Structure 1
């Protein structure tokens, strides 16, 4: 990785896809995820899957994305029971593709 790419990764914007496993449906997980992502200034989306997981995409400053990843792994909504969270396709980006953080149905 070039020095410029290293700097961009530390202070720039990144995107990552996520999937959260456990008791994460029917416990207001999406609403709490939207609230926390908005508090952190992140853009993207979250939705339930037919498999009982919650998936989504996060975009924003690397530090805020890292904070949100910890939240998705360890906190979630008050009644959630998170087994694990998986993150894929993490990449530096120049601009966010979304205006807000939305709940998709």
Structure 2
């Protein structure tokens, strides 16, 4: 393999690791009154993500997360399988996943 091919492959690996993405989520189960929003905000910040989280009148939690693809995937896994210590997650729905050229949200917040 020549040097230009090796450099091209390395550049692709580096660039894909910096790919930014955005995804909306809705979490179903016992997710209200169990500090789910606070834990979501804390975990998102610990991963260096931006976004927001909010309770709905239907008893679910909705939100959006943005950041590097790898970190967004970690957060999706956390939302689907972990949540707050007292929560019970029945189902996590992710939608509107898209690539970003720049972050649209800065910081992580709870919306009311």
| TM-score using structure 2 length | 0.85
1:51-96 deviation line (CA, Å, top 9, x unaligned): 0000000000000000000000000000000001000000000111
- The answer to whether residue 95 in structure 2 is matched with residue 84 in structure 1 is no
Where does the alignment leave 5 or more consecutive residues of structure 1 unmatched?
1-5
Choose from 70, 80, 96 the match for 2:103: 96
Q: How is 1:45-84 mapped onto 2 (pairs within 5 angstroms)?
A: 45-84=52-91
- Which of these residues, 33, 36, 47, is aligned with residue 43 of structure 2? 36
Q: CA RMSD in A?
A: 1.4
Q: Partner of 2:26: helix, strand, or coil?
A: strand
Q: Distance in 1 between matches of 2:64 and 2:42?
A: 14
Q: Which moved more, 1:92-101 or 1:33-42?
A: 92-101
What is the TM-score with the length of structure 1 in the denominator? 0.90
Aligned residues: 100
* Structure 1 position 10, deviation (Å): 5.2
Q: Which has the larger radius of gyration?
A: 2
CA distance in 2, matches of 1:46, 1:25: 12
* Structure 2 runs not aligned, ≥5 long: 1-11
